[in-house]
Amino acid sequence: MPSYPCAVNEETTPDVDDLPEQMRIRREKRERMLAAGVSPYPVEVPRTHSLAEVRAAYSDLPADTATGDKVSVVGRVMFLRNTGKLCFATLREGDGTELQAMLSLNNVGEDALSAWKADVDLGDHVFVTGEVITSRRGELSVLADEWGMAAKSLRPLPVAHKPLGEETRIRQRYVDLIVRPEARETVRVRSAVVRSLRESFHARGFLEVETPMLQTLHGGASARPFVTHSNAMSMDLYLRIAPELFLKRCVVGGIDKVFEINRNFRNEGSDSSHSPEFAMLEFYEAFATYDTNAAMTRELIQEAARSVFGGEVVTLDDGSEYDLSGEWTTLTMYGSLSEALEAEVTPETGVDELRKHAAAVGLEHDPALGHGKLVEELWEHLVGDHLHAPTFVRDFPVETSPLTREHRSKPGVAEKWDLYVRGFELATGYSELVDPVEERRRLTEQGRRAASGDDEAMRLDEDFLRALEYGMPPSGGVGMGIDRLLMALTGLGIRETILFPLVRPE
């Protein structure tokens, strides 16, 4: 093999002799076509109709019909049956529509037929020009006068009738999309859900904005950030963990109804419901409260279910039904925890007593946890993990909700709710804290925690406080994970709802 000192990369130009037989043979077919003066990758191919258009135009032909109509169609070869003088191929196009091509010795001639048998593999894109007919078995087909390669595939497709391994599905989503209709359907559903959300917001007079992903200070949530570096500014930057503080700046500025659908990044592990990068919806509305925005959140989800699935009872991946219709259950955190413990727990309950409860129910916990965190962990353990039907849980401990307004009448709790669906947290909503002095006090406390090593604590954001000092109207805000909304509506794991989840390189 000749040596090319600069340009050759072993990864991208493997020695052909070292390839598995099936890949070597496909490359040889490509070479053979080139040598014969035929491009395996033409810039343009004849195409008068999509496969779907042909199907639509000839939906009810009886078997063994010749229409006399000529079309040119293109598709990926998903099925091949070559016999001596008659070849069949099933072509498929992007939306999954399939149409059969037939090549008969009488119509295409001996050279074209033998070229077809020699050059075409499963997975190739080909075009066929010919008459629309139905086969003796009634299959709608194009009977070729001519055929040609549209794009040669150099890799064999996985076996069509065995499920692809999970790792390959994720690492090579393009293959998953080719062979598994459900993978394409998930993409379609996700797009439709996001579209429905946007339409619901537009119908209510909300404006969509895009706020910084690169931030000099991360805030708006409790999570570890990814750190990156700006060469031009000679400073480290954070990938955002939430858009909250910028969306509130919008509300201060008079964008009274505002939403953003975009990516957040959290420097944490991944599992069946977490991903380091995930799509998030946040919306803020002046003069809303955690009561009104809970109702709106329910409407957004129900509208998405209706527009995408045609109803508010959805069918999940495992075949079970999930009912999102009507009003949803509402609990309070302290009330439902007290009920589960069969003992009164209030914001005044001491840490020692909470620890006894934790020990009694077998919940291991960090001894450094304060009242708020302990209450939340007990609640998740005893109540949250067991919630199946859509449920709002309200009135969280104040100390773990630094951006939330204290309850108007109940001391020690915040006007905050979490929405649980099928046992996981789907969304959270607040009556927003807008008092700049109280906000500064809470963020200063968060800053102290950060300084003492809590790397999930929020940083003091002076510019955000300055914005609040100009006066933010009373407002409600909501955050909802888009990936999790897809999980809720379909029953899929998060790595199926995300097209290209982060994976370690092979």
Partner RNA sequence: GGGCCGUUAGCUCAAUUGGUAGAGCUGCGGACUUUUAAUCCGUAGGUUCUGGGUUCGAGCCCCAGGCGGCCCA
Binding region for RNA (CB under 7 A): 20-23, 25, 79-86, 88, 90, 100, 102, 104-106, 118, 121-122, 135-139, 141, 155-156, 158-168, 170, 269, 271-272, 364, 493, 495, 503-504, 506
Judged by CB, which is closer to RNA: 184, or 365?
Answer: 365
Alpha helices in 58-104 (DSSP H): none
Spatial distance between the Cα atoms of 190 and 309, rounded to a whole number of angstroms: 12
Judged by CB, which is closer to RNA: 121, or 445?
Answer: 121
Judged by CB, which is closer to RNA: 137, or 229?
Answer: 137
To RNA, the closest distance from the beta carbon of 120 in angstroms equals 9
To RNA, the closest distance from the beta carbon of 408 in angstroms equals 36
To RNA, the closest distance from the beta carbon of 479 in angstroms equals 22
To RNA, the closest distance from the beta carbon of 165 in angstroms equals 3
Judged by CB, which is closer to RNA: 274, or 410?
Answer: 274
**Other beta carbons less than 10 A from residue 492's beta carbon:** 21
To RNA, the closest distance from the beta carbon of 121 in angstroms equals 6
Residues whose CB falls within 8 Å of the CB of residue 172, separated by 6 or more in sequence, listed in order: none
User: Would you state the torsion angle of the CA atoms of residues 161, 162, 163, 164, taken in this order, to the nearest 10 degrees?
Assistant: -110
CA distances from 199 to 54, 190, 402, 469 (A): 33, 14, 31, 33
Say which amino acid occupies 432: E
Judged by CB, which is closer to RNA: 276, or 335?
Answer: 276
To RNA, the closest distance from the beta carbon of 69 in angstroms equals 17
Q: What DSSP assignment string belongs to 329-384?
A: EEEEHHHHHHHHHTS---TT--HHHHHHHHHHTT----TT--HHHHHHHHHHHHTG
Three-state DSSP at 279 gives strand
Judged by CB, which is closer to RNA: 181, or 474?
Answer: 181
Judged by CB, which is closer to RNA: 214, or 503?
Answer: 503
CA distances from 398 to 85, 178, 271, 300, 405 (A): 79, 50, 29, 27, 8
Report whether 377 contacts 337 (CB < 8 A): no
Judged by CB, which is closer to RNA: 342, or 364?
Answer: 364
Q: Which tokens in the block code for residue 170?
A: 């994720």
Judged by CB, which is closer to RNA: 169, or 240?
Answer: 169
To RNA, the closest distance from the beta carbon of 77 in angstroms equals 9
**Pairing, β 140-151 against β 125-134:** antiparallel
Query: End-to-end CA distance of the chain, in Å?
Result: 27
To RNA, the closest distance from the beta carbon of 21 in angstroms equals 5
Spatial distance between the Cα atoms of 427 and 284, rounded to a whole number of angstroms: 13
To RNA, the closest distance from the beta carbon of 110 in angstroms equals 10
To RNA, the closest distance from the beta carbon of 81 in angstroms equals 4
Report whether 434 contacts 405 (CB < 8 A): yes
**Other beta carbons less than 10 A from residue 147's beta carbon:** 23
Beta bridge partners of 130: 71, 144
To RNA, the closest distance from the beta carbon of 115 in angstroms equals 12
Judged by CB, which is closer to RNA: 64, or 344?
Answer: 64
Q: Which tokens in the block code for residue 270?
A: 């991944």
Q: What DSSP assignment string belongs to 110-147?
A: HHHHHHHHHH--TT-EEEEEEEEEE-TT--EEEEEEEE
Rg (Cα) of the chain, in Å, rounded?
30
Judged by CB, which is closer to RNA: 154, or 255?
Answer: 154
Residue 78 φ/ψ, nearest 5 degrees? -105, -10
Spatial distance between the Cα atoms of 376 and 357, rounded to a whole number of angstroms: 13
